[in-house]
Chain A
């Protein structure tokens, strides 16, 4: 059974720092992996989706990498800003028609 883990559960860093959020999954046979952001009291916003054949995806200051063999993905945030404060969730789709499986998220706080 696929399980998705995000450690740490919470993280505080000073503004301007580059940071990495981690996501690990137990079964390397995945179809894709998606990173989301959730602001308090809001829904989830899709940030990046990486297909199983890809190694990374970039959008602005965000870069997500995928290493299926080790069961890991990282979300790199460059030059962090207070507006980046949110909970970041990783989700894995095991197969094309499978339901996606979420990690419990990392709550990020950027200190001004």
Chain B
């Protein structure tokens, strides 16, 4: 357990509504990532952060935005949810962190999002 949590764990919403998913870590890791996982596509990177207020796009960033105002929290926002964004969303973290240099990537438990 790398001290990473996601909330909510499950969410059902309607097309066109905004949705925010939260990733929280307690281990002070520098890097944080948002992935989505879909059958046939595997894991795809949406956005990632390499420090507070430093973020960059992944391979499937359209329709998503992120924010990281403090080390421990990384928020993923769907401004106007669409049915194609129905997926399981995973947050991940990796080093370095204070006093340690680790390359291992740790994953959160996931958020299952359904957009009707």
CB distance from A45 to the nearest CB of B (A): 7
Partner among A41, A100, A103 whose Cβ is within 8 Å of the Cβ of B105: A100
Asked if A104 contacts B103 (CB within 8 A), the reply is no
Contacts of A104 in B (CB 8 A): 41-42
On chain B, the number of residues with a Cβ less than 8 Å from chain A's Cβ atoms is 18
Cα A45 to Cα B71 in complex, Å, equals 22
Asked if A103 contacts B103 (CB within 8 A), the reply is no
Is A51 interfacial (CB 8 A cutoff)?
yes
CB distance from A29 to the nearest CB of B (A): 16
A/B interface sample: 28 pairs, CB < 8 A = A31-B103, A32-B103, A34-B104, A34-B105, A36-B107, A41-B110, A43-B109, A43-B110, A44-B90, A45-B107, A46-B104, A46-B105, A46-B107, A49-B103, A49-B104, A51-B103, A89-B42, A89-B43, A91-B105, A99-B33, A99-B45, A99-B48, A99-B58, A102-B42, A102-B43, A104-B41, A104-B42, A105-B42
**Chain A residues near B (Cβ < 8 Å):** 31-32, 34, 36, 41-46, 49, 51, 89, 91, 93, 97, 99-100, 102-105
